[in-house]
Structure 1
């Protein structure tokens, strides 16, 4: 199979959509969910489109950061952010929140690789490999596994509290 540019994973959580949204739309909590993110520095208080934050990531001994900007923040429905490295578009990450009946919620995490043809795409792919150890054509599968872990952690946290 060729390179995947977009992937999605979903889970049903026994919690109301507003509660699920509140958890995933707080960038400061990403370190609780993600297997790569270990810290987030947010530049602002209100989670609205335009809010900037920096994600600090780790895989083994490799550590790197990404600059992020919220692109979508619709309470109870959707949250997304764009990732850049040195000003070069890298990816869009997002969450879709949908009622699933009986007070439960379907949470879908989505990733889109923006390192296609254009300004800096090859350079961004090279940086990704250097920092993460993952070649661009393997990033989708690594992210898919990470999404499954992330969604399982969100589900576990929200269903016990």
Structure 2
């Protein structure tokens, strides 16, 4: 098991135009997925904290304030949907995007049952890996718009 602590990315200096820079917690045990998401989100003016698994994610949640969580459904040391349930219980007002790279035999079928189950356990959105950067940004903007305290301004990014 990796003992790497959570990693918070520095604030991007180049485009500090907006007063609201959403802070996103990304919880996944795959370092390549974390790195790709982190780089993309930083380029789109988000603050990012990476947690390399469920336990690190829960520690991050105890010590930080987040506007949104992106949590992998299937990680070691957390059985499937347990991660979604626990993260939602610990921070019920923070929107959660569940993601999974679970392989399906029939790719043409409608949304798999695990996506519906994740939604029932508190996820605001679900993404199946691999997803496009546009799909990730759309899910994030939708969640942030729906959960804004001011009633939800239109999505800031395209």
TM-score computed with the length of structure 1 as normaliser:
0.30
Which structure: greater strand fraction?
A: 1
Higher relative CO (Cα under 8 Å, sequence separation at least 6) belongs to 1
